[in-house]
């Protein structure tokens, strides 16, 4: 989408116009960004790493969690 290199705040605002949920492993986002006014939810995944091999077995749990995140809220999903 040409969004590489965007800072988190700008990235979240761009994403909210096209997506319902922002999925990330960046633990700092809830502390660095004001999320209350956003029209997008944030799913914060905690896992050992972000490799396909690590996350693929959890795709159902990730999808289910993403479906329940409310706009302006952060939901954590611990896969460790």
Confidence of residue 9 (pLDDT cuts 50, 70, 90): confident
The reply to whether 65 falls in a domain is: yes
The reply to whether 2 falls in a domain is: no
Structure tokens at 6: 């965007």
Which residues have a Cβ under 8 Å from the Cβ of 4 and sit 6 or more positions away? Answer: none
The pLDDT assigned to 69 comes to 95
The reply to whether 13 falls in a domain is: yes
Confidence of residue 50 (pLDDT cuts 50, 70, 90): very high
Q: Is the pLDDT of residue 28 over 90?
A: no
Structure tokens at 7: 């800072």
The reply to whether 24 falls in a domain is: yes
The reply to whether 42 falls in a domain is: yes
The reply to whether 1 falls in a domain is: no
User: How many structural domains does the chain have?
Assistant: 1
The structure's pTM equals 0.89
- On whether the CB atoms of residues 42 and 73 are closer than 8 A, the answer is yes
The reply to whether 64 falls in a domain is: yes
Range of the domain at 26: 8-78
Q: How many CB atoms lie within 10 A of CB 77?
A: 17
Calculate Rg over the CA atoms of the chain. 12
């Amino acid at each position: 989408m040409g969004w590489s290199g965007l800072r988190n705040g700008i990235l979240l605002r761009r994403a909210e116009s096209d997506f319902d949920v922002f999925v990330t492993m960046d633990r700092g986002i809830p502390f660095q960004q004001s999320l209350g006014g956003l029209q997008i939810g944030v799913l914060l995944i905690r896992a050992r790493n972000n490799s396909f091999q690590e996350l693929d077995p959890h795709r159902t749990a990730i999808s289910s969690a993403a479906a329940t995140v409310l706009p302006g809220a952060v939901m954590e999903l611990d896969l460790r």
